[in-house]
Amino acid sequence: MGNTFIEVKSNGVVSAKQGSNSRFPYEHQRKAMECLDIIDKLDDYSTLVVLPTGGGKTYTASSWLLKSALNKNKKILWIAHRQMLLDQAAESFKKFAYAEIMPNVSSFNYRIVSGAISHDRTIDIVSSDNLIIASKDSLGRNLQALDAWLDGEKEIYLVIDEAHHSTAKTYRKVIEYVKRKTDHVKIIGLTATPFRTADSEQGLLAKIYTDGVNLGRPVKDNKGITYKIDLKTLINRSILSRPIFESHSTEEGFGDNLGKDDWDKISHLDILPDNIAEQMAGSASRNKLIVDTYKKNEDTYGKTIVFAVNVVHAITLAKLFQKSGVKAEFIVSDVKDMVTGVTLGSKDNERKLESYRNGDTKVLINVNILTEGVDLPQTETVFLARPTVSTILMTQMIGRALRGTQAGGTAYAHIVSFIDDWDEHIAWVNPESLFVDEEADFSDNPTEHQKHELRMIAISKIEEFAAILDDSVDTTAIERVPFEKRIPIGMYAFTCLEENGMDHSYQVMVYDSTYEAYEDMLYALPALFKDYGVDDEFIDDKTLTAMADHIAETFFTGEMIPPYEEADIIHILMYYAQYEDIPKFYTFKDIDKSRLDVAAIAKHIWDEDMGPKKKAEYVDSIWEDTDDNMLQLFFGRKVYFWRQLDIEMMKLSSPDIFEDEQNVKYGKREFEDMPLHEIGEYNPNYEKELRNGAFEEALNDSGCYVCAECGLESEYKIPFQVDHIIPLNKGGKTVPENLQILCRKCNTRKSDKL
C-alpha cells in the first residue's frame, strides 16, 4: 500500500538555521525591536508598533519574537483577518529562524489555522504548538479550542496584525478570552494606521492598547504605542520611495450584463467573472491606452511591473509592448503557450525575472504573482491594469515600487491606475486612499495637498460625468445645480471587513446637499442599533436593508442634488456594526474651487464674446496648464470638461433651456391623497416638511420624542416612524393634523391589525 498521507505546509517543525541572517534591519526596525525589549520588561502589556506601508512590520515583529519569545519557550498566538496575512507571517518566521537569535532552542512547532482548505482547523490545535497563526473568525467561532493550548501557561504573546481592525467585536472577544485564561498576556498590535478612523476611536483603541514606551521607559497612557515612525520619515530617509499617483480613464464600460452573482463575486471575493475578464483582456482600445501611456513617458516610468486581468491579458499586453518597441515579458503560473504549445513554468519565469533584474527587460507583466516574495529592485513604476476591491492586494501591488534608494530601489514610485466605467457602484480600491492617514502627498506644499484631494474626488465623479455625456440618461436635475455645489466638501474614509475576511476601503463623498443628513445619521446610530437589537459584528442583508431604508426616510429627505448613495449608508452601517464608532470625516479644505468653477470659465468666454476658434484655443490653454493641471486631475477626460462647459454656456445663452414647454394640461392628484414616500418623489422638500412637522408635534417639555401609542420617550428620532392616524385606505389624508409618530413596535402592531 502507498502513502496514506500528504505533506502540508499548514503545520510543521521549523529548525533553527545555522550561519547568519543576510538581512540586516534598518534603523527604524532596530529601534522598534529595542523599544519592544523595553516594554517586554513588564509582566503584562498591550501595545502598538506602528510602521507604515513598506516599513517591514511582519519582519520586525517575527524577528523580535523569535529571539524574545520562541527562544525562551514562550508561546505565541498571531491573529489576522486574511489568509494572505497568515501565510506571510508563517513565511517570515520560517525564513528568519536563525540559531544566532535562537540559541536556546533547536526548533519550534507552528500551525496555521483558518477556514481555507490549505490551512488547519481549530480542532487541530495541540498543546505542543509553539506558534499558532490563526484567522480571527476561526478562533472567534471556537475559542474553546485554545483551552488545552493555554492550560498551564503563565505567559502568552498575542500578536494582532492590521491592528486598526482590532476594535472589531470578534477581535475583542478573542483578546478577552485569552486574558481570562492566562495569568500574563503580552499583546502587540501591528499597524500602519493606528487611528485610521474617527478621532474618537482612539478611545476604543486605548481600551485595548494601554501601554507604550516614552523616554526609554515603559509607561501607561502613551496612546498605547511602543514605537512609531511615519511614512514621510521613511521617504526622507530614502528607505521608501516617494509615490506619484496617476489615473487614466479607459472609457470602457463592463457592467452592462452583470447579474447579482457576478456583483457578489466581485464585491465579496475580488474575482472578476470570466466573461468580464475576457472583455477587459480583449479590449483593443484599453490595451492600446496601457501601452501608449507607457510609451509616452518611457524614460520617466523606466522598469515597470504591470498587473494584468488574466493570463490572456498578460500575454496580449506583452506582445503589444514588444510590437511597440518596448522590451517586455509576461510571467504567469504554469500555462501552455497558445502558439508553440509549450508549457511555460517556473524555470521560464525565472529566466524572465533575471532578464528584468539585469535591465534587458523593461516591462514585466503578470497576474498577481509578483505581489510578494520576489526581489525586484529598481522597479520604478507599477501599472494597475486590473481593478481590485482588496486593500491588502492593492497594498502589495503598489509595494513593488516603494523601495527607496537606501533599500536598493528608486527615489520615486509611479503608481498608474487605469479606471473603467461600471454601471453600478463597486468599491474598487483607489491606491491613493491607502495613504489618507499618512499625508499622502508627503509635502507641506498646499498645491500638492490640493492635487491629492482632487485625485481622491475624481474617481468618484466618473459615473456622473459619463451619465451627463450619455444622451439616453436624464441628468437634467443635476445639470441645473451650480457646478461648484457638485464638488464634494469632504468624505468619510474607512475600512471594514466582510465575514470572509475581505477588507474593503470606502470613501463616502459628502456634498453641501448631504452633509447635514450624514451628521444627523451618525449621531443617531447608537439608537438605531439598539432599536433593531443588532449586536452582531456582521448584519444580515434583510436587517441591513431595513436599517438603511429607515435611515433614508428619517434623515435623507428633501431635495438633495447631488444625491446620497444608498450603498454609502449601507457601508457606514457595516462599519458601525464592527467598531461601534463612526468613520472619520476628511474635509477638502485645500481645494480652490474657483479654479474648477466651470460657470466662471463659461462667463469669461461669454463676456469676451469668443468665437469657436478663440474659444477652443482658450479651453486648450487652461486644460494644458502645466502649473497644476487641476482641470485634468478633476475631469480626467477633456470631453467631460467640454460637456460641462457647454451646459454652462447654454445656461447663459438660453436661461430657460432646462424648462420644458408645456403644451398639455394634465389632471391633478392632490398630495394629501398620496403616501409620504410618493410625495417625496415629486416634492421631496414638502415630504421633509411633513415628516419634520410630525416629529416637532411629538416633542415633550424634556425635549424627547414620544410615541403616540405607548408613550416611549427618546431624544433620538430613530426609534420612531411617521404614521397616519387614520390610514389612507380608511379615508385619512396626508396632512399635518393626521400625522403622528409611533415607535416601530406600535407601528408594526397597528399595521398587523389593519
145 and 204 share a domain? yes
258 and 203 share a domain? no
Please tell me the predicted confidence (pLDDT) of residue 343. Answer: 42
261 and 372 share a domain? yes
Distance CA 123, CA 111 (A): 12
- Greater pLDDT, 555 or 216: 555
Angle at 543 between CA 539 and CA 545, to 5 degrees: 105
Question: Average pLDDT, stretch 11-24?
Answer: 90
Pick the last residue of a domain from 212, 229, 246. 229
Global pTM reads 0.73
Residue-wise pLDDT for 653-688, tens only, equals 877 655 555 556 767 788 999 999 889 888 889 999
225 and 242 share a domain? no
Domain of 365 in residue numbering reads as 238-442
DSSP states of 32-66 as a string? HHHHHHHHTTSSSEEEEEE--TTS-HHHHHHHHHH
207 and 96 share a domain? yes
Question: Average pLDDT, stretch 317-338?
Answer: 81
Q: Over 80: is that where the pLDDT of 261 sits?
A: no
Q: Over 50: is that where the pLDDT of 89 sits?
A: yes
Angle at 433 between CA 594 and CA 389, to 5 degrees: 130
Least confident among 80-94, 100-114, 201-215: 201-215
Residue 289 lies in a domain: yes
Confidence band, pLDDT 50/70/90 cuts, at residue 146: very high
Question: Average pLDDT, stretch 386-397?
Answer: 83
Q: Over 80: is that where the pLDDT of 640 sits?
A: yes
Q: What is the C-alpha radius of gyration for the chain, rounded to an integer number of angstroms?
A: 29
Distance CA 598, CA 468 (A): 15
Please tell me the predicted confidence (pLDDT) of residue 482. Answer: 81
DSSP states of 207-224 as a string? HH--EEEETTEEEESSTT
Whether the Cβ atoms of residue 460 and residue 509 lie closer than 8 Å to each other: yes
Confidence band, pLDDT 50/70/90 cuts, at residue 345: low
Residue 326 lies in a domain: yes
Please tell me the predicted confidence (pLDDT) of residue 122. Answer: 95
**Count of the separate structural domains present in the chain:** 4
Grid cell digits, residue 162: 492590521
Confidence band, pLDDT 50/70/90 cuts, at residue 443: low
- Greater pLDDT, 290 or 500: 290
Dihedral angle at the C-alpha atoms of 175, 577, 747, 542, nearest 10 degrees? -110
Q: Which stretch, 184-198, 547-561, 621-635, has highest mean pLDDT? A: 547-561
Please tell me the predicted confidence (pLDDT) of residue 447. Answer: 64
Please tell me the predicted confidence (pLDDT) of residue 696. Answer: 94
Residue 603 lies in a domain: no
341 and 242 share a domain? yes
Residue 611 lies in a domain: no
149 and 269 share a domain? no
DSSP 283: -
* b/e burial code for range 86-119 (CB count within 10 A of at least 16 → b): bbbbbebbebbbbbebbeebeebebbbbbebeeb
Distance CA 365, CA 369 (A): 10
175 and 253 share a domain? no
The position carrying cell 497612557 is 221
Q: Over 70: is that where the pLDDT of 200 sits?
A: no
Q: Over 80: is that where the pLDDT of 337 sits?
A: no
Question: Average pLDDT, stretch 97-113?
Answer: 95
Question: Average pLDDT, stretch 631-644?
Answer: 82
Residue closest to 192 by CA, chosen among 1, 98, 51? 51
Whether the Cβ atoms of residue 435 and residue 53 lie closer than 8 Å to each other: yes
Please tell me the predicted confidence (pLDDT) of residue 339. Answer: 39
Residue 416 lies in a domain: yes
Distance CA 406, CA 408 (A): 6
The count of residues in the chain is 754
Confidence band, pLDDT 50/70/90 cuts, at residue 633: confident
Please tell me the predicted confidence (pLDDT) of residue 586. Answer: 84
With residue 335 as reference, give the H or E element that holds it: strand 335-336
Residue 610 lies in a domain: no
Confidence band, pLDDT 50/70/90 cuts, at residue 129: very high
Whether the Cβ atoms of residue 401 and residue 379 lie closer than 8 Å to each other: yes
Query: Could you give phi then psi for residue 362, rounded to 5 degrees?
Result: -100, -30
396 and 251 share a domain? yes
Whether the Cβ atoms of residue 684 and residue 737 lie closer than 8 Å to each other: no
Q: Which residues contact 223 (CB under 8 A, 6 or more apart)?
A: 48, 194, 202, 206, 209, 212
CATH number at residue 265: 3.40.50.300
Q: Over 90: is that where the pLDDT of 222 sits?
A: no
Pick the last residue of a domain from 587, 608, 628. 587
100 and 117 share a domain? yes
Distance CA 534, CA 369 (A): 40
Residue closest to 171 by CA, chosen among 38, 77, 244, 34? 77
Confidence band, pLDDT 50/70/90 cuts, at residue 342: very low
Q: Over 70: is that where the pLDDT of 64 sits?
A: yes
Least confident among 38-42, 424-428, 629-633: 424-428
Distance CA 382, CA 333 (A): 20
Residue closest to 401 by CA, chosen among 54, 88, 27? 54
Residue 96 lies in a domain: yes
Residue 598 lies in a domain: no
Q: Over 60: is that where the pLDDT of 643 sits?
A: yes
Q: Over 50: is that where the pLDDT of 197 sits?
A: no
Q: How many CB atoms lie within 10 A of CB 513?
A: 18
On average, the pLDDT of the chain sits at 85
The three state secondary structure string of 458-484 is HHHHHHHHHHHHCCCCCCHHHHHCCHH
Residue-wise pLDDT for 446-498, tens only, equals 666 667 777 777 777 767 777 777 776 777 878 888 888 888 888 888 888 87
Beta strands in 687-726 (DSSP E): 705-706, 713-714, 720-724
Distance CA 432, CA 449 (A): 12
Residue-wise pLDDT for 496-513, tens only, equals 887 777 777 788 889 999
* b/e burial code for range 465-503 (CB count within 10 A of at least 16 → b): bbebeeeeeeeeebbeeebeebbbbbbbbbbbbeeebbb
Q: Over 50: is that where the pLDDT of 310 sits?
A: yes
Residue-wise pLDDT for 566-610, tens only, equals 889 999 999 999 888 888 888 887 777 777 888 888 889 998 889
Distance CA 509, CA 490 (A): 6
Please tell me the predicted confidence (pLDDT) of residue 423. Answer: 60
277 and 373 share a domain? yes
212 and 349 share a domain? no
Residue-wise pLDDT for 699-730, tens only, equals 999 999 999 999 999 999 999 999 999 999 88
Distance CA 34, CA 67 (A): 12
Q: Over 60: is that where the pLDDT of 630 sits?
A: yes
Residue type, 225: I
The position carrying cell 524577528 is 63
Whether the Cβ atoms of residue 753 and residue 717 lie closer than 8 Å to each other: no
Distance CA 193, CA 632 (A): 30
Pick the last residue of a domain from 422, 442, 462. 442
The fraction of the chain above a pLDDT of 90, given in percent, is 42
- Greater pLDDT, 316 or 269: 316
Please tell me the predicted confidence (pLDDT) of residue 431. Answer: 82
